[in-house]
Amino acid sequence: MAKPALNKSTLARETRQLAEYRQFLPSLELKRLQILAERARARDGLARQEKEFQDRFQAIADAIPMLANDNVSLSGLVRLKDVGVGEQNLSGTVLPRLDDLRIELEPYPRLGRPHWVDPVVAALQDLVRMSVELDIARERAQRLVEAEIVISRRVNLFEKVLIPQAQDTIRRIKMALADAERDAVIRAKISKRKTASRSAEQRVAEL
């Protein structure tokens, strides 16, 4: 990487960039905090949904032990017809959101199957719905994890690289300009003394 020229033009540019970095960093940090807060909510919500799903599944198994009866086919009674997934924009991060869920029931003769099939169908609808909600919750949580990693890298880039680099460049330029100004003053004084000395010698020669 080429070293920046230590002059007033570079100083003005670096000073402007440093101001922009410092102005942008707070909004970037706020975005990171929003992502972190939503990530915590998503993590807690996902854990709750997973527990509810397992609890519901176990409750159904306990309440309807006839599910183990292979002589009664339950295949195809409940089908997931359509899932409408929308989007939520959170500080630039696009998150999935369940907008619509349609479950289709296969008609079956009430007299041709045991009485416990009805509650099984209702339970299966619950499990299908909860399963879809879980999938979306998992995807939402994963995207938030990835977004937090990206935004944290950007914050670190500003805090630990761009701002310190700009500050160091500005410091070096100011030191170089101060040295150049001091050298110019010294050269001016030396030149003035030489000019005065020549003038004095000239006056002496004229006497």
pLDDT in tens, 85-143: 999 999 889 999 999 999 887 776 555 565 666 777 788 888 889 999 999 999 999 99
Please tell us whether the domain made up of 8-168 is placed in CATH 1.10.287.3240: yes
| Contact between 60 and 116 (Cβ < 8 Å) | no
Element containing residue 80 per DSSP (H, E): strand 78-90
pTM score of the predicted model: 0.73
pLDDT in tens, 42-64: 999 999 999 999 998 888 777 66
Domains of the chain: which residue ranges?
8-168
141 burial (CB, 10 Å; 0-12 / 13-18 / 19+) is buried
Rg (CA), the chain: 37
Which of these, 202, 192, 167, 207, lies nearest to 18 by C-alpha position? 167
Mapped onto helix, strand or coil, the DSSP state of residue 93 is: strand
State how far the Cα of 137 lies from the Cα of 95, in Å rounded to an integer.
Answer: 10
